[in-house]
């Protein structure tokens, strides 16, 4: 039984809805889609019962490809191999799967996050903020989607990608639109201090749990071990890897009633300034699709 189903109510509260999430610090193998999908399948087969959402890292089926020829060879459509696999796994295990993959859409290479439900409904988000110190900003297209918020098992689930974490206005939880944030990432250990404190700050200021699914292992750009982290709405770390096992899957269970009580006791949103982002170019709604 999914832990997201209502549990008994207490003290006059509505029946609680809990959500069990898993963050996978996946060791991505460079440009090897087949091996990465095989390894991800094995990981999913070991996920704990009752899990509702499993979050993989950024570009977990390819790694951060910046070679133009490899980009052309490996990039795939949003109904391609990665998404067909993810749809089949979500249906098989009855949980949602999130992560990002190297997509080709409208003639551009995109770093595209996905949230695929057991029903086959997929929501996509193209990375908005491209890292200026890497070839990403030159080779990948910038996303022009709004930050997605998906209603799933009684929770409003939002999603960004890695570097987006540095931009608080983009992640702003105005009117408490979302209840939990998923962050697939490829964030190097060398900048781990910033990663941890940004996750904590975003959780505190938005009064929302944040699930940081950073990769493990290494590539030509550095090491990634040990940064995956799940933070609650008060900014407390509730799950992170042990020093000797940086690739272990992290789990946390969150209570909707506890979240609402916390927000009610400390309603900082009522004191927040009201403003809207006016981007240089219009933002479109996140893309959705139904995958078999």
> Is the pLDDT assigned to residue 8 strictly greater than 50?
yes
Catalytic (active site) residue 58: yes
Within a domain: 237: yes
Strands, E, within the chain: which ranges? 6-7, 16-23, 53-55, 96-105, 108-116, 121-126, 149-152, 155-159, 180-185, 210-214, 218-219, 222-223, 229-231, 237-239, 250-255, 287-290
Q: What is the mean pLDDT of residues 78-85?
A: 98
> Is the pLDDT assigned to residue 164 strictly greater than 60?
yes
Within a domain: 8: no
pLDDT above 70 coverage of the chain, percent: 96
Active-site residue identified among 20, 58, 229, 256: 58
- Per-residue pLDDT, 226: 86
- Per-residue pLDDT, 7: 58
Within a domain: 222: yes
Q: Identify the CATH number of the domain in which residue 184 sits.
A: 3.60.110.10
Active-site residue identified among 20, 76, 162, 256: 162
> Is the pLDDT assigned to residue 76 strictly greater than 80?
yes
Within a domain: 15: no
Confidence label for 275 from pLDDT (cuts 50, 70 and 90): confident
- Per-residue pLDDT, 107: 93
Confidence label for 1 from pLDDT (cuts 50, 70 and 90): very low
Mean pLDDT computed over every residue of the chain: 94
- Per-residue pLDDT, 4: 47
Q: What is the mean pLDDT of residues 209-230?
A: 95
> Is the pLDDT assigned to residue 235 strictly greater than 60?
yes
Confidence label for 124 from pLDDT (cuts 50, 70 and 90): very high
Within a domain: 6: no
* Number of domains into which the chain is organized: 1
Residues linked to residue 145 through DSSP beta bridges, in sequence order: 284
Catalytic (active site) residue 162: yes
> Is the pLDDT assigned to residue 216 strictly greater than 60?
yes
Note down the domain range covering 257.
23-290
CB 213 within 8 A of CB 185: yes
> Is the pLDDT assigned to residue 70 strictly greater than 90?
yes
- Per-residue pLDDT, 245: 92
Confidence label for 6 from pLDDT (cuts 50, 70 and 90): low
Buried b (16+ CB within 10 A) or exposed e, 25-43: bbbbbebebeebbebbeeb
Active-site residue identified among 76, 78, 127, 229: 127
Catalytic (active site) residue 127: yes
Within a domain: 10: no
Within a domain: 14: no
Confidence label for 123 from pLDDT (cuts 50, 70 and 90): very high
Residue of 31, 278, 287, 59 lying closest to 161 (CA atoms): 59
Within a domain: 124: yes
Give the pTM. 0.95
pLDDT (tens digit per residue) in 14-63? 899 999 999 999 999 999 999 999 999 999 999 999 999 999 999 999 99
CB 127 within 8 A of CB 113: yes
């Amino acid at each position: 039984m999914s832990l997201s189903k209502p549990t008994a109510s207490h003290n006059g509260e509505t029946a609680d809805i809990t959500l069990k999430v898993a963050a996978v610090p996946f060791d991505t193998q460079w440009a090897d889609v087949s091996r990465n999908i095989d390894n991800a399948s094995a990981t999913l087969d070991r996920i704990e019962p009752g899990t509702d959402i499993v979050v993989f890292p950024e570009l977990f089926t390819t790694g951060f490809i910046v070679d133009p020829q490899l980009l052309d060879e490996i990039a795939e459509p949003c109904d391609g191999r990665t998404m067909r696999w993810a749809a089949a796994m979500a249906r098989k295990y009855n949980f949602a799967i999130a992560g990002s993959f190297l997509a080709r859409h409208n003639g551009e290479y995109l770093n595209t996050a996905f949230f695929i439900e057991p029903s086959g409904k997929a929501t996509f988000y193209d990375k908005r903020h491209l890292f200026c110190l890497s070839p990403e900003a030159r080779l990948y297209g910038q996303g022009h989607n709004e930050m997605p918020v998906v209603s799933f098992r009684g929770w409003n689930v939002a999603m960004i990608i890695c570097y987006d974490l540095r931009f608080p206005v983009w992640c702003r939880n105005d009117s408490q639109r979302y209840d939990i944030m998923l962050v697939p990432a490829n964030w190097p250990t060398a900048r781990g201090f910033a990663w941890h404190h940004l996750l904590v700050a975003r959780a505190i200021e938005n009064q929302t749990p944040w699930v940081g699914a950073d990769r493990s292992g290494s590539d030509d750009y550095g090491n990634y071990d040990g940064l995956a982290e799940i933070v609650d709405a008060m900014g407390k770390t509730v799950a992170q890897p042990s020093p000797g096992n940086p690739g272990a899957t992290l789990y946390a269970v969150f209570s909707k009633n506890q979240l609402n009580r916390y927000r009610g006791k400390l309603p900082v949103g009522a004191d927040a300034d009201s403003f809207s982002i006016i981007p240089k170019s219009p933002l479109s709604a996140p893309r959705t699709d139904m995958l078999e």
